[in-house]
């Protein structure tokens, strides 16, 4: 019997830390659904859900066992809709850990869904989508922080295309 994990996130945009968590989750569980979602506490987004989804599809096309979808609403409802056994989240820092623990307990309490927290590789533990957006906005080079599909989309945006 295979185990299905649901990895939700804003992914605005996907960076190499996210990709590292996806690779680890596939290694561990075999079947991973990546869900792009709006975070209600993050009002100003750069890409819409479909754009985020298509960049993730392109960036994970080499990985068997990964499906990429987008959802609105609660994480627990999206996880149940795809038939996931549990939620997977990446943890970079102690700050992430505190937030993710609180969400994990809440999602178990309100939705009955368990969460597995995976540490992001130390190589990428400093990377955040927010800083990727900022650097790219000012035409800095982010090609070593994000997959090629994301780097080219950001470069086009920075050049006004
Ligand atoms: O990448 P992010 O911004 O940390 O992802 C946050 C996300 C989208 C996974 C999630 O926290 C969220 O905001 N979900 C939508 C609403 C929800 O389920 N709220 C209850 C959280 S306990």
Q: What is the largest CA-CA distance in the chain?
A: 48
Report how far ligand 1's centroid is from the alpha carbon of 103 (Å). Answer: 8
Nearest to 103 by CA among 25, 22, 41: 41
Choose, from 52, 92, 133, 153, the residue flagged as catalytic. Answer: 92
Task: Choose the residue to mutate in 6, 8, 76 for probing ligand 1, maximizing ligand atoms within 8 Å of C-beta.
Answer: 8
What's the whole-number average pLDDT of the chain? 95
Could you report the per-residue pLDDT of 107-137, keeping only the tens digit for each? 999 999 999 999 999 999 999 999 999 999 9
9 lines ligand 1 (CB under 6 A): yes
Domain 3-125 architecture: 3-Layer(aba) Sandwich (3.40)
Catalytic (active site) residue 133: no
Question: How confident is the model at residue 78, as a pLDDT?
Answer: 97
Nearest CA to ligand 1 atom 16: 74
Strands (E), 10-124: 30-37, 66-71, 86-91, 115-119
Confidence class of residue 41 from pLDDT cuts 50, 70 and 90?
Answer: confident
pLDDT tens across 83-111, in order?
999 999 999 999 999 999 999 999 999 99
State yes or no: pLDDT of 2 exceeds 80.
no
Dist CA 60 CA 51 (whole Å): 14
Whether 38 and 10 have beta carbons less than 8 Å apart is answered as yes
Angle at 137 between CA 133 and CA 140, to 5 degrees: 95
């Amino acid at each position: 019997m295979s185990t299905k994990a649901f990895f939700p996130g804003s992914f605005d945009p996907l960076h190499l830390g996210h990709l590292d968590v996806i690779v680890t989750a596939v290694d561990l569980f075999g079947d991973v659904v990546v869900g792009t979602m709006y975070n209600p506490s993050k009002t100003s987004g750069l890409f819409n859900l479909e754009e985020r989804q298509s960049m993730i599809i392109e960036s994970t096309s080499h990985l068997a066992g990964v499906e990429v979808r987008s959802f609105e609403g609660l994480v627990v409802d999206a996880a149940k809709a795809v038939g996931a056994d549990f939620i997977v989240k990446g943890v970079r820092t102690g700050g992430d850990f505190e937030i993710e623990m609180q969400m994990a307990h809440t999602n178990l309490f309100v939705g009955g869904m368990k969460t597995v927290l995976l540490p992001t590789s130390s190589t990428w533990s400093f990377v955040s989508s927010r800083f990727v957006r900022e650097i790219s906005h000012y035409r800095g080079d982010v090609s070593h922080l994000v997959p090629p599909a994301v780097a080219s989309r950001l470069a086009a945006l920075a050049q006004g295309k």
